[in-house]
Amino acid sequence: MNHCSRRTFLKMGGAGLAAWLVPTIGWAALHPDRTRRTLSFYNTHTEERLSVCYFKGGAYSSRAMKKINHILRDHRTGSIRAIDPRLMDLLFDVNQRLGCSSPFHIICGYRSPKTNAQLRRKSSGVARHSYHMQGRAIDIRLPDCNTSRLHKACLKLQAGGVGYYPRSDFVHVDTGAFRTWHG
């Protein structure tokens, strides 16, 4: 039978109590590598690249988010809109799940109302009130990960909208309610 000395018991209890009392942000500060979120992008239309730490020390970096807003701009009009940071968190979670090393290839990020209307005239698959127009959606692919695997990883998160477009070789994700579809 294992016996625990009083001193060992008190040390273990004290350590457990300290861990319970330390707020999450305080714990994260003790482990800064767990609070850093970095993403890499390649815009397939402008050929621009970006690798940026958008979250550090418990806060989103406004400087990094401006860079993200720029690379995800409407490439047709040049219009820029603030991108929902939760969309970046969703991509970060997808990347963590897949462990892919390639940057996310951007098929479509922000889409201006003008561009959305033009695309709706050409395709019935473009939503009238698309989350792209709110900076809350992105169409992506990962070169070192097949699109089917990317789609499955997005579905497993059970977060936001997930559209699968195998013929066009991309996956749509957004920060709306969880729902799925095939295009």
Cβ-in-10-Å burial (0-12, 13-18, 19+) of 127 comes to middle
Give 177's DSSP letter: S
pLDDT in tens, 25-67: 443 444 345 589 999 999 999 999 999 999 999 999 999 999 9
pLDDT at 20: 40
Q: Is the pLDDT of residue 104 over 90?
A: yes
pLDDT at 21: 42
Q: Which two tokens stand for residue 145?
A: 């990960």
pLDDT in tens, 58-102: 999 999 999 999 999 999 999 999 999 999 999 999 999 999 889
User: What is the rounded CA–CA span in Å between residue 111 and residue 61?
Assistant: 23
Domains parsed from the chain with CATH numbers: 6-182 (3.30.1380.10)
pLDDT at 129: 84
Contact 72, 124 (CB under 8 A): no
Integer distance in angstroms from the first to the last C-alpha of the chain? 63
pLDDT at 7: 58
φ, ψ of residue 132 to 5 degrees: the values are -60, -35
Contact 139, 106 (CB under 8 A): yes
pLDDT in tens, 113-169: 999 998 888 886 787 789 999 999 999 999 999 999 999 999 999 999 999 999 999
Q: Please, what's the b/e burial string for 32-52 (b: 16 or more CB within 10 A of its CB; e: otherwise)?
A: eeebebebebbbbeeeeebeb
pLDDT at 168: 93
Which residues on adjacent β-strands are paired with residue 173?
138, 162
Cβ-in-10-Å burial (0-12, 13-18, 19+) of 14 comes to exposed
Q: In which band, very low, low, confident or very high, does the pLDDT at 15 lie, cut at 50, 70 and 90?
A: very low
Of the two residues 18 and 89, the one the predictor is more confident about is 89
Contact 42, 24 (CB under 8 A): no
Which residues on adjacent β-strands are paired with residue 165?
170
pLDDT at 125: 76
